[in-house]
Structure 1
Amino acid sequence: MAALCRRDFLFGSTAALASLVSARPGRAAGPRVVSLDYGLAQTLIEFGTPPAGLVDTQGWYDWVMEPPLPPGIANVGSSYEINMEMLQLLQPDLIISTPYLEWIRPQLEKIAPVKSFPIHALGSSPYPHIVRATQELGQLVGRPQQAQDLIDRTERDLQAAKKATRRLAEQKLAIITFLDARNLRVYGPGGIFQDVLDRLELQNAWTKRTNEWGFGDAGLADLISIGDNRVFYMDPVPPDVLAGLAGSPLWQAMPFVQKGHAQRMASVLMFGALPSVSRFARLLAEVKV
C-alpha cells in the first residue's frame, strides 16, 4: 500500500487513489475529505458530500456565496497557514488541494493522501480543467453520477443565461474588483469570468493584457479606456471605496459613469469551480439594463 500511495502522489492516478482511500477500515461509505480550496469544496457540496474540513470557513460568504456552506465543517486555518493540528484531529482519508499549496505537500502527506487539481493559473481557459477536476473528484468520492449531473446542469445554466443576456450583447462589458480607492483588478482571458463571457457570446471591454490567473492590475485612471461600455464592480467593495466614489472627480468623469453604465455586482469566486460559473452567468442574466 505504501508503494501505491507514493505512486499516486507522483503521478496523480485518480483510480489508484480512489482505491486507496476507499480501502481504509472503519469508515462510512465515501472518504472523509478535507478541502484546502474553495472551488473544490463547492464541488463536493454539490455532490452531497461536503468536506469534513475547509480553509477559512469564515470567508465563505464574502467570496463564495454558493452553494451554502453546510454546518459542522471544521476550519483548518487559511491558505497561508494551514492548521496541521486540526488536520490531524480530523483524521481525513484524503486531502484535496491545488498546485498553489504544493510547497506544503510533504507535511500534508504525513497526515493523509493528497490529490492536487491544477485548474487555475495555467495560462489558458480554466473551464475544461474545472470539468476534468469535477469528473476526477466524483470518481474519488464515489459520486461519478453527481459529477456528471453537475456538469450537465452547468451547461444548461449557461445556455439559459445566453438567451437571457442578449440585451447585454449591445455593449462590451468590463468586470472589476476594487482593492482600494485607487487600485483594482480587471478580469480577462485566463479566468472563469472570461470563460463565461465567451460562452454567452458577450464581449469584454478590457483589451489589455491579463496574467495567468485571468486578471490585470490597474489604476482607477486606466478605466478611461473602457469608454462608455458597461462596468460591473464586484463585491466585496471596501467601505472607504464606496464612500469615496460619489465624490471622486476621476470616477465621475468616466464615460461609463456619466452614461449610468456602472453597476455593483454580488461576489463571485474568481478561482471557483462550476458553481461559480453558474452563479456568474445567472447574475449577468439578472442584470437590469
Structure 2
Amino acid sequence: MKAIAPIIGLCAALCSGVWLSGCQLSDATPPLSTPNNQTSPKVMTPDWGIAATLVAMGHPPVAMGDKPFYKEWVGKPLIPATTYDVGTRYQPNPEMFSQLDIDVVIDRAFYEHLRPMYGDLDVHSIELNSTNRVAAWEDFIEPTLDLGRSINQPQAAQDYLDNSKKQIIQAGQTFHTRYPHIKKLAVVQFADTNNLRMFSYNSLFQPALDAMELELVAFADGNEWGFASIMLGDLAKLDDDTCLVVVEPIGDLLKLELKDSLVWQRLGYSFDENQTANKGRCLALLPATWNNSGVASMNVLADRLMNATFVGNTDL
C-alpha cells in the first residue's frame, strides 16, 4: 500500500460525521481479476456517480463517501455491503481513510480540495456529465471509457455502454406500449412547497429521454448541476400535453402541504394513484434518480420511467 498523508486532525475528522475511535479495518480486500489477466486497482471515490458507474460495470469501489445516503438519493445500482463508508463526500473521515488499503482515488473537480489528504496515491479525475447546453449520449462515451481504462477494464466499459444504450431504447419501447399518448415530460424535484428544481437540457435526462423517443420540456438552461430553479406557480406554463414527473424524495408532510395549496389545486395535479382515470393533469412520482451519475443514472431513469404509474389524463 502506498503511503497515505498524515491524519489531517481531530477537527477535520469530527467534521466528517464519522468519528471512529480506535476503529480498525481489514486490509485484506482481494484485487479484482480482469479477463486479460490484469488486476483492477482498489478504488476509493468520494463521488456517488463514479461509485454507481463502477458498480454497474461490475467493479465496485473499496470505499466511497456518504454511503448511507446513497440509497435515498441515488438508489440503484445497489452498493455492495463490502464497500466501506468513509464519511461525508465533501469531507471524508481522515482516520478511516488512513486505514484503507487502496491503490487509486477516482474523483472529479468538485472534490479537488480533498487531494492533499491522499498523499502519494494516484488520483484520476473524471467528469460524468455534459458541458454542452444540450446534452447528448455522445458526451458520456469518453468519460465512461476513461473510467474503464482507469481500472484496467476498457472492454467492460465498452460493453457497459453498448448494453446500456440497448436497455434504454427497450425501456422506451415498453413505455410507449404502456402510454402511447405520452410524448413530452417535464422533470422536477421539490425543495419545499413553493420551490422546485426543473431539470434542463444539459442534464442526463435529455439523452436518456432522447433514446426513449420522448421529449424533455424545460423553461430555461440548467446550471452546472443540470437544473434551473422555478416556483410552483411556474408549472402553469406547461402545455396540457406535457406530463409532470416528480423525482423523490418528497415527504408525506410536503404532499399534505401541496394538497392544501391553492396553487397546486389550481394546477390540477394529484399524487393520488386511486383517482378516477383522466381526472386531473398527467403526473408520475419517480423514485430518487441522481442527476450526476452519467450512464448509470440514465439506466435507472429509463427503468423507472418504464415502470412508473402515471395518473391523471394520460390520453393527451
The structure where helix makes up a greater share of residues is 1
Partners in 1 of 2:284 and 2:265 — Cα distance? 13
The amino acid that maps onto 2:81 is P
Distance, in Å, in 1 between the alignment partners of 2:181 and 2:96 is: 48
Once the two structures are overlaid, the 10-residue window that deviates more, 76-85 or 52-61, is 76-85
Match of 2:221 among 196, 206, 209: 209
Q: Comparing 255-264 with 267-276, which one deviates more in the overlay? A: 255-264
Corresponding position: 1:174 with 2:186: yes
Partner residue, 1:17: none
Alignment of 1:1-289 (within 5 A): 28=31, 29-108=39-118, 110-120=119-129, 122-124=131-133, 125=135, 127-166=137-176, 167=179, 170-228=182-240, 229-255=242-268, 259-288=280-309, 289=314
Amino acid at match of 1:243: L
Is residue 126–residue 147 contact of structure 2 (8 Å, CA) maintained in 1? Answer: no
Q: What secondary structure sits across from 1:40 in the alignment?
A: helix
Structure 1 contact 161–200 (Cα < 8 Å) conserved: yes
8 A contact 1:168–1:202 mirrored in 2: no
Aligned pairs, number: 264
Report if aligned partners of 1:123, 1:212 keep a CA contact under 8 Å in 2. Answer: no
Secondary structure at the aligned position of 1:276 is classed as helix
Q: How does the TM-score come out when normalised to structure 1?
A: 0.83
Is this contact kept in 2: 1:123–1:213, CA < 8 A?
no
State the Cα RMSD in Å.
Answer: 2.3
Cα distance change, pair 81–147 in 1 and its aligned pair in 2 (3 A): same
Q: Distance in 2 between matches of 1:120 and 1:168?
A: 30
For the 8 Å contact 1:35–1:95, the answer to whether it is kept is: yes
- 1:98-125 C-alpha deviation (Å, 9 max, x unpaired): 11112332333x1511111023362442
Identity of aligned residues (%): 27
Q: TM-score, length-normalised on structure 2?
A: 0.76
Query: Aligned AA for 1:267?
Result: A
User: Which amino acid in structure 1 is aligned with residue 95 of structure 2?
Assistant: E
C-alpha distance in 2, partners of 1:126/1:213? 15
The offset of 1:208, in angstroms, is 2.5
Shift of the 160–80 alpha-carbon distance from structure 1 to 2, 3 Å rule, reads same
Q: CA deviation at 1:169?
A: 5.8
